[in-house]
Chains A and B, each alone.
Chain A
């Protein structure tokens, strides 16, 4: 409890500091809650009771008991489990029970990443060891030694893997896994909420293929999913697995008291309403926590921000040799590097870690006391996951939310209950995406030929199979569609990104010792690894010397400069088909297919601290073409408006709209785009396009098709009530020189919304 006292007095100290307190807009405390228990099920195997009592567990939390009971009834279920609520027992217990009852039983655990699987294996081993029984559990991924693979396939009771390995390493070789597929009782899907958007859609198909193989070998496994708090866990799980699900939403685990500070940086530019950089504020707050010895996790939204913060924070330890109390943690680091950081967090040698959302997931890093969020992560589920990183178990925790100047961030600071009390967003997947569907139909055909009367999960695919035959991929022989090329389709389909190949980042600072320091997907590489870009890795700056686009290699050398780079993308749009259309206040909104041509144009050099623009240069890279789903709104030029005023108004309005889309659908900012065109080729009128960033679309813009009205109202109300004068980054984006973006944008949005301005 000394711990709690410390934290409380530190919070009091912060709140009494006038410089700090004047920026704290809200201080909210969520009370902890007591545990709700349930007795062990009667059937629970005595060895499991032994194993649990070894951990000091003599009864279950209510949700763990319900999970066990559903499993006994052979019902698939989804358990909503916040951080540290004992979620792993929701699946370990029924799985181990089935193996102890019948040695032939098998289970497959799926984790979104290799790292999580390895972490959970350690936990599972402990439990098995304490039970005194022999249950074989292994991870199966790219790191599994070749010599061990046969053993895992033949005799592993529990196989822990990830969707990518299932997709390309297990399903296409199912004949080597006969004993697993014949006896598969449970499929466990941990971190369900991470399977959304494009990745989730891919995984939905991998699971459909998995079920198809299980059916072939005569097994009908029960699905067990665990999820963080989202609005629609049951719907997501059912959509993902194409199976009906029971929901376990009431959690019996206890929770500690959480102190939330909502911190808004001071305004530094009155006219534009620009606030002091959140990154700099976070640096100061985190330094304070560091000096107090409070173990802290800092979340930042982008890799670049993480690296900037690490650079700033390391100033604190500059004079100490080999000090590793402050570390960065994000995708793109090598696995060995990440393992070392996770360990440092657990044993307390690392005091401050700066992370992207990689650590939102259930990687076990032990107990942190405080969490600092640099801006709103874009959705409530993420924000709550981040907050859950602090104060695991029953200790008090401090969460400081530092707002950025952006619209959603400012919305949250004004409406803290939206975050704390409101319902979180929905997570969506879109298995109907034809591009993804076809990718997996190919893989499924390779794994097992379809007959002329077969379905693929919920889809009637005979016409699609015919198409694949016409493409020369399949041959109809007898009454089956047989795979008939030498290609291995799973290797041509990546679950993680739109583009297949990643760009490898090679450090050639020392010519004799070139090393690979990371990798990045192709689309991000267009704007982050172009030549002359400054790439940050563990706080070290590198300049990209050469980007070999053909070979997907970026050569970098270490530099020491006081700026970072930021690149622009130009897009061209072409409507391919118009599928749906409706009227809205005498304007037309439509939904259909769109071709997008994206070309990176220029980059800017921006100085640290002051964030001044100190130079720019062109980017020479080929255009990337994207066919996707889009919704658009066309309107007539308001009377008396010149093209120039219209351009400014539309730019401002588009900025405002883009900011608010995440309030309607759970997605990252980069998943969806709003592009204004003063005279669109397709409509011949001023038009706003909203399109999905993924080939074929993943249902986001389709959802927005019905929500234009709410979106316009929301944006109009936000822009007109903004405190700035002529437009600012919070509402319309910063205006160029002396134009007034705000008035035009506000007028335009109001008139599009039919004059009926809605206040949320």
Chain B
């Protein structure tokens, strides 16, 4: 029977009451929710029970000793990582506040957005003495949300959360859940957020095709997942666990989540290694990306140092390095060297980068070297390229041709003063 036919049958069941306005108000009275009927099954699967004055929550706690490795990295390398950040003095999006607890954090949810989506699993890893402790909190059922959120302790004081795509997903979800329980729970403080997805995109742009966590693990962390339950199945599995009490599949989601947070620790180690290294260890592409990131953060001396290293190692193999180097040199007033760097791009770069390099060269030649003839010649080269190169977007070509034409007219006026000229207007 179709859904519509079913509904037509229910028409008779529809009853109305003239608005006696049943007041549905937020409850601020704390009622301890009782344990779910499937508790024994969940405990048998390996979960522990914890109770607080809101009700019940289940959890799984795992301790990792100092020798524990995840892929190529030992978790304990984190100590050195934090030390590096401290001594670097950098104000970087990945730099932690040394005064705050550092929690590696990941959630699993029943949907993608909105107030009807629940967080049912919160996984946390934290350094403890020489080892690490992971705690995963599992929501026993929708009625236990306050107990579940309270148990995480995230309300206690501001911490630093290290996440993967947490800025746009996990944290807004956590805010939503907290607001839904705001009359019961203490307020959620504003936590610092370090998002390693953003970091990975900056570091490995043009080097990696996918930024899905398993792809990053394989390429950067030397970790290959075995027996992993894909994350998109999480909602269905949790629904099944709540409706039928089955916990075996749920434990596989916990394993998936455990992989996620372990990888957060080692990805943080790996990212920091590349960002704060003494000696070159990344590729020319990733190192140039890193330098660009520093330059965007106005950390110019570090950006310059990284680029110099790359050029020393790779020469003119990767012209983009020279492209960014050219801008830094220009900023420092080293016009001759800047001209040289952009010169590498003129011969080796392609597309947009080559056009912009030519423009920069023309600017320096015109305004600093006062070599208008050479500048004019470069304008001609650029316009020729713009006319021929079909890989450039139409709007970019149009804009740049106009720019170069204007520049040409100005240069001609300087070279041949007193002659009749086209108006630049």
Contact = CB atoms under 8 A, between A and B. Distances in A.
Interface of A: 172-176, 178, 212, 215-218, 242, 432, 434-435, 437-438, 445-449, 451, 453-455, 457-460, 463-464, 467, 471-472, 475, 477-478, 480, 482-490, 576-577, 593, 627, 695-696
6 contacts: A175-B180, A216-B24, A432-B16, A447-B114, A477-B143, A480-B142
Given A464-B10, A480-B143, A172 B17 contact: no
Interface in B63-80: none
Nearest to B176: A175
B91 to A, nearest CB: 23
B325 to A, nearest CB: 32
Contact of A445 (B14, B113, B116, B235): B116
Contact of A464 (B14, B23, B113, B116): B14
A484 B8 CA distance: 24
B10 A218 contact: no
B179 A488 contact: no
Contacts of A477: 36, 141-143, 242
**Closest 9 CB pairs between A and B?**
A478-B143, A446-B116, A482-B142, A175-B179, A483-B116, A486-B235, A172-B114, A486-B111, A460-B15
A464 B20 CA distance: 19
Contacts of A434: 7-8, 10-11, 14
B242 A458 contact: no
Contacts of B44: none
Contacts of A460: 14-17
A484 B110 contact: yes
A478 B24 contact: no
B40 interface: no
A471 B2 CA distance: 12
Contacts of B165: none
B7 A173 contact: no
B388 interface: no
Interface in B1-43: 2-8, 10-11, 13-20, 22-26, 33, 36
Contacts of A212: 24
Contacts, number: 137
Nearest to B236: A486
Contact of A593 (B8, B25, B117, B242): B8
A458 B142 contact: no
Contacts of B8: 434, 576-577, 593, 627, 696
B126 interface: no
Among A445, A478, A485, A627, the most chain B Cβ lie within 10 Å of the Cβ of: A478
B22 A173 contact: no
Contact of A627 (B4, B16, B33, B111): B4
A487 B242 contact: no
A215 B21 CA distance: 10
Contacts of B25: 215-216, 218
B115 A173 contact: yes
B208 interface: no
B175 interface: yes
Given A478-B33, A576-B5, 19 more contacts: A172-B113, A175-B115, A175-B176, A215-B25, A432-B16, A434-B11, A455-B20, A458-B17, A458-B19, A460-B14, A460-B17, A467-B10, A475-B141, A478-B143, A485-B111, A486-B235, A486-B236, A488-B116, A489-B116
A485 B15 contact: no
A197 to B, nearest CB: 19
A446 B11 CA distance: 22
Among B4, B24, B114, B116, the most chain A Cβ lie within 10 Å of the Cβ of: B116
A593 B6 CA distance: 12
A451 B25 CA distance: 11
Given A432-B14, A458-B18, A696-B8, A174 B24 contact: no
Contacts of B141: 475, 477-478, 482
B112 interface: yes
Contacts of B110: 483-486
A167 B235 CA distance: 24
Contacts of A449: 142
Nearest to B175: A175
A437 B16 CA distance: 12
Nearest to A487: B111
Contacts of A172: 113-116
A487 B236 CA distance: 11
Interface in B88-109: none
B14 A455 contact: no
Nearest to B22: A455
Contacts of A488: 111-114, 116
B171 to A, nearest CB: 13
B19 A242 contact: yes
Nearest to B20: A455
Contact of B7 (A447, A455, A480, A696): A696
Given A459-B15, A460-B17, A484-B242, A438 B115 contact: no
A394 to B, nearest CB: 43
B16 A695 contact: no
A175 B235 CA distance: 21
Contacts of A489: 116
A217 B183 CA distance: 11
Nearest to A463: B13
A96 to B, nearest CB: 29
B239 interface: yes
Contacts of B175: 175
Given A446-B116, A486-B236, A454 B22 contact: yes
B243 interface: yes
Nearest to B21: A215
Contacts of B118: 482-483
A695 B8 CA distance: 10
Nearest to A220: B21
Among B16, B36, B176, the most chain A Cβ lie within 10 Å of the Cβ of: B16
B179 A463 contact: no
Contact of B115 (A446, A464, A480, A577): A446
Contacts of A178: 179
Given A215-B24, A459-B14, A435 B235 contact: no
A457 B143 contact: no
Contacts of B112: 486, 488
Contacts of B26: 216-218
Contacts of B114: 172-173, 446-447, 488, 490
B16 A458 contact: yes
A254 B4 CA distance: 51
Contacts of A627: 2, 4-5, 8
Contacts of B115: 172-175, 446-448
Among A173, A175, A449, A459, the most chain B Cβ lie within 10 Å of the Cβ of: A175
A174 B116 CA distance: 11
Contacts of B117: 486
A696 B23 CA distance: 30
B16 A459 contact: yes
Nearest to B33: A478
